Amino acid sequence: MLKRKILGVLLGAIMMAGLVSVTDTMAASVVCPAGSKRAGEAVSGFAECNVENTGKELDQTARKMINVAIGVIGLVAVIVIVVGAFQYTVSQGDPSRIKKAKDTIMYGIIGMVLAILSFAIVNFVLTEFFIKK
């Protein structure tokens, strides 16, 4: 029970760190692009640049948020693998504990593979079908 609570607190902290980094990125000042009325000036958002919104900023923000979420999933998979390795190390030859540890490691590896594949698939789909060049 204590392990689940510690793991829950750890996962919550990791998720909050990801959200803070995304909101910090979104709240940062931006430099107006060339062709806008305030080109080269640092402003708090693209709305102040007086330029027509092409939708690329939204695409980039969505891509960043998706990549952060997939990165958090990958990090959780790594943590599950480490927990499984720790369980295997302290199993003391008990067959049921060894099986549980091996299953935990296997599920962590499956999660890692799924995170990598989802990262590749999502970025491919966004690039090929939604990002206009």
- Asked if pLDDT for residue 66 goes beyond 50, the answer is yes
**How much is the pLDDT for 128?**
80
**How much is the pLDDT for 37?**
62
Length of the chain: 133
Give 56's pLDDT tier (boundaries 50, 70, 90).
Answer: low
Q: What is the mean pLDDT of residues 27-51?
A: 62
SS3 of residue 133 by DSSP: coil
DSSP string, 85-111: HHHHHTSTT-HHHHHHHHHHHHHHHHH
- Asked if pLDDT for residue 24 goes beyond 60, the answer is no
Amino acid in the structure at residue 119? F
Which residues are CB-neighbours of 36 under 8 A, at least 6 positions away? 49, 50, 51
Q: What is the mean pLDDT of residues 84-96?
A: 93
Amino acid in the structure at residue 81? I
Q: What are phi and psi of 35, to 5 degrees?
A: 95, -10
